[in-house]
Amino acid sequence: MVNAYDELSEGFERIVKAKGLLSAKVKCSILAGERLKLPSGEYLAARGEEVILHAEVDGGYGHAFTTSPKEFEGRVGDVLNFVRGGNCERAIYFATLNAALHKLRMVDGTIHCRQGEPEACGEELAKQILSRFGKARVAHIGYQPGHVKALAQALGPEMLYVTDLDPMNVGKVKFGVEILDGSRNPEVIGKADVAYITGSAAANGTLPSLLESCASCGLKPIVYGVTGKGACKILGLEVFCPYGHDSL
C-alpha cells in the first residue's frame, strides 16, 4: 500500500504546479480556542491544549488543529515537504493544503465551526450513521464531545468505541463510554462496522496507519473535521464536516 503521505505529497505538488501556486505567499498564524466560543471545556481547543493554525493563500483560508503550533511565512513551494516533518511542520502543511485548495475552490468549509455548532455536528453525525449504517458499531478516533454525546444516546454506549491521545481523557468515562488510549486503534477498528477518524490525525502523524488498519479490516474510513478536508480531496476519502465556514 502506498503511504498516504506520499500520495498526498505527490498530489498536492501536482496541483500547485498546474495551477501556478508554487510561488504564492502563505501565512500561518495561531488562533486561540476561546475565539470559537465552544460550548464547554470538554473541547481541547477551549482549554488551550490544542490550537488552530490559520493559513492564508491568496484569498484562500484553511485551518489545522495542532498541539504543536508554529507561525510561518513563506511560499507554498516551501511547504511541500513539511508533510514528512514533525508535528509543527505537518500542521503548517495541512493548514496550507486546505487554504490552497480552498483558494482553488476544490474544497469549501475549511474554517472551523464555532459556538453551538460542534454539538449540532454530533446530532447530524448520529442521523447520518443511523440512516446509512443502522445501529452500527462505530470506531470514533478522537474525542469530540458533541459527537460522543450524540452517538452514545443514538446508538447506545455499548456500540461506540472511542480512542484519544490526550492522557487527560484516556481512562475516563464520558457519556457512558470509556475513552481508550489511541494505541488501541487497530483493535478498535477491528471491532467496528465503520470508522470516523479525526482530521487531526493528518497533522499528528497517525493518519497513514489508521487508513492501513481500516484497509486491512475492509472498513470504510470517514474523516471528520476541517483539518483533513484537503487531504480527503486528494486521497479520495469521504469527509464529514457539515458546519465548516469559508471565512473567520
Lowest mean pLDDT among 46-55, 152-161, 203-212: 46-55
Under the banding of pLDDT at 50, 70 and 90, the label for residue 46 is very low
Give the DSSP H or E segment for 173. Answer: strand 173-174
Q: Mean pLDDT over all residues of the chain?
A: 93
The three-class DSSP label of residue 31 is strand
Burial 50-84 (b: 16+ CB within 10 A, else e): bbbbbbbbeebbbbbbbbebeebeebbeebbebbe
- What's the average model confidence in pLDDT over 194-210? 96
pLDDT range class, residue 189, cuts 50, 70, 90: very high
pLDDT value of residue 139:
98
**Other beta carbons less than 10 A from residue 247's beta carbon:** 7
Is pLDDT at 50 greater than 80 in this prediction? no
- Are 141 and 118 a contacting pair, CB within 8 Å? no
What pLDDT was estimated at residue 2?
Answer: 59
On the question of pLDDT at 48 being above 70, the answer is no
Mean pLDDT, residues 4-22: 97
User: 179 CB contacts (<8 Å, ≥6 apart)?
Assistant: 143, 162, 163, 164, 169, 170, 171, 172, 173
Q: Which domains does the chain have, with CATH numbers?
A: 4-103 (no CATH), 117-240 (3.40.50.11590)
- pLDDT of amino acid 44: 55
In this predicted structure, the answer to whether residue 1 has a pLDDT above a threshold of 60 is no
pLDDT of residue 51: 87
Q: Long-range contacts: 76-82, Cβ < 8 Å, 24+?
A: 76/16, 76/21, 76/22, 76/23, 76/24, 76/25, 76/26, 76/100, 77/16, 77/22, 77/23, 78/26, 79/26, 80/9, 80/12, 80/13, 80/16, 81/9
Using the predicted structure, report yes or no on whether residue 30 has a pLDDT greater than 50.
yes
What is the pTM assigned to this prediction? 0.93
Q: Using one digit for the tens of pLDDT, what is the confidence trace for 205-236?
A: 999 999 999 999 999 999 999 999 999 999 99
Q: In the chain, how long is the greatest CA-to-CA distance?
A: 51
Owner of C-alpha cell 516533518? 85
Give the pLDDT of residue 36: 59
Q: CA nearest 141: which of 5, 2, 240?
A: 240
pLDDT given at position 31:
85
Looking at the chain, the whole-number percentage of residues with pLDDT higher than 70 is 92
Measure the CA dihedral 145/147/151/153, to 10°: 50
Least confident of 16-20, 100-104, 115-119: 115-119
